[in-house]
Amino acid sequence: MEKVTIRPIQLSDNKHIALIIREVLTEFKANKPGTAYFDTSLDELHSVFTVPNAAYWVLEHDGTIIGGAGIYPTYGLPAHYCELVKLYLLPSARGKGLGKQLIEQCFDTARQNGFTHLYLETMPELTSAIHLYEKMGFIYLQGALGASGHFGCSVWMSKEL
């Protein structure tokens, strides 16, 4: 894809990112309780990511938002860990290496913020995302870390940065 940019989230992006996340979760039949679909903060992501050491990146193609991903210092994670959160791409953005670019942006930002590990939670329904995480060097964990509140997620992974 030409003219693709990755930039920090802006206040005006809130409704677009929330819509993408809900559409993707619905597409994969993963719009269930205990997932990002029901996060009360989903419509206010710009504000959520103003906390120290958090960042959210928007993927834009020709001025249209087609995805995003971020890092967040989720409460209860081990020291020097942050969480890879809300990585979602519209179907038109998949299979083009854009998810990898977003993850690499998150790796770089996490390192710059002093984190040594990136943790994530996902669901078995999101098979293509899990495959990407495996390719990017994430390893499986036996259980959840931290207190994300996403009890609907049953796949936990981490990567040393």
pLDDT at 1: 56
Q: How far apart are CA 76 and CA 114, in angstroms?
A: 17
pLDDT at 134: 97
The CA distances from residue 106 to 2, 83, 101, 120, in Å, are: 21, 10, 9, 12
Beta strand 4-8 pairing with 55-61: antiparallel
DSSP-assigned letters across all residues of 110-127: HHHTT--EEEEEE-TT-H
pLDDT at 91: 94
The CA distances from residue 26 to 42, 46, 91, 133, in Å, are: 15, 22, 12, 21
Q: How far apart are CA 18 and CA 36, in angstroms?
A: 9
Q: Which amino acid is at 17?
A: I
- In degrees, rounded to 5, the angle at the alpha carbon of residue 79 between the alpha carbons of residues 77 and 82 is 55
Q: How far apart are CA 38 and CA 103, in angstroms?
A: 23
Beta bridge pairs of residue 8: 57
The residue behind tokens 């939670």 is 121
In eight-state DSSP terms, residue 27 is: H
Domains in the chain, start-ordered, CATH in brackets?
Answer: 4-160 (3.40.630.30)
Question: Is-contact 155 130, C-beta < 8 A?
Answer: yes
Chunk the chain into consecutive blocks of 10 residues (it has 161) and report each block's average pLDDT, rounded to whole numbers: 88 96 92 83 94 97 95 96 96 93 97 98 91 96 90 92 97
